Amino acid sequence: MHPTTAGEVSESTDSVIDMVSVDAPFLRACRGEPHDRVPVWFMRQAGRSLPEYKAIRGTGSIITAIRTPDLATEITLQPVRRYGTDAAILYSDIVTPIEAIGFGVDVAPGIGPVVEKPFRSASDLERIRPLDPEADTPYVLETVRNLVRELGDVPLIGFAGAPFTVASYLVEGRPSRTYENTKRLMYTDPELWFALLDRLADLALASLHSQVANGASAVQLFDSWAGALSPSDYVRYVQPASQKVLEGIASTGVPRIHFGVNTGELLTHMRDAGADVMGIDWRVDLDDARKRLGDRTPLQGNLDPTAVLAGADVAIERTRDVLRRADGHRGHIFNLGHGVLPDTDPEVLEQVVAVVHAEGKVR
């Protein structure tokens, strides 16, 4: 499939992995190599905001959609087709592996992950057995294989939740503003905390390995809520487990993107955990992030998702500002600073993509 051409997905039975060009602009930017246009994709580009998604999604839990490869494949393809993004991101959820091993998690519409019986003590560790991706998440792997076949030369990004962020859902039981139960566990029972994070690191790692083995060309580790931590807590309690995941996947050779919100203070630590590319939220200007991380770390971001809600004029003005701050650096992948908001007008995002492709220059 050619991402710049809107229209039907072409049928193909070729070996999928060979079709993905290592020269795709997205992958070259992830490696900081010369390429000819600023690549762009959006976190949460699939789903919620798209009318074509609402038309096929039906009701019921997102977990059910993830367990239905044809549906998950189509949902992943929709934004690539509409926007001509330079990468697809697997339609899945960071709780997919933990749900698959039977921990008792659901994703409640309008709320997020909710856990039936939160993680509270050492006996809960037994509820986190190792993931066997082929047996536990065959539907994910089928979706990945479908996608790689359909996407042609558009790279597919696989992903996993980082141990801290997944732990925060397991411990709090639902999205939190303070993460107080999570931090209390971390501070008062570090042995149990590290055991929990180690199991979640293994889970993320097994899932990422299986996604890459089935054709994903890059991976993103979402530590969405790590920004709740002080830098010293991050380094002490969280970085080792994230490092286990990022270093564990290094042997595959695919680019490793690392992202969280409110993580301005943590950028160097998150990079040092073993990321090739750092995702930047909108709270740090991109030129400032470049100064902090130096010239050799590719950056992904960082348009404020609310700017897209404000209509095309505002979105375009701010897109240009991001491009200006990126200053044509080879290591820049255009993205939002967090996920696409549900009320986003897809036509505005189409214009953002058009501006990035038309005006973004790579030095």
Nearer to its own copies, 226 or 356 (CB): 226
Minimum Å gap between C-beta 229 and its own copies is 8
Report the number of secondary-structure helices (H) and strands (E) in the chain.
Answer: 18, 9
Query: What phi, psi does 84 have (nearest 5°)?
Result: 65, 40
Residues in contact with its own copies by the rule CB under 8 A: 178-180, 183-184, 187-188, 227-233, 262, 264-265, 282-285, 288, 304-307, 309-311, 314, 321, 341, 343
Minimum Å gap between C-beta 259 and its own copies is 17
Nearer to its own copies, 134 or 347 (CB): 347
Nearer to its own copies, 299 or 362 (CB): 299
- Catalytic machinery residues: 44, 48, 57, 93, 169
Q: What is the DSSP letter of 250?
A: G
Neighbour tally for 137: CB within 10 Å: 25
- Give residues with Cβ within 8 angstroms of 43, minimum separation 6: 89, 259, 335, 336, 338, 339, 340
> Does a cis peptide bond (omega within 30 degrees of 0) precede residue 302?
yes
State the Cα–Cα distance between residues 142 and 147, nearest whole angstrom: 8
Minimum Å gap between C-beta 200 and its own copies is 20
Residue 299, H or E segment: strand 299-303
Contact 284, 320 (CB under 8 A): no
Minimum Å gap between C-beta 240 and its own copies is 19
Nearer to its own copies, 40 or 226 (CB): 226
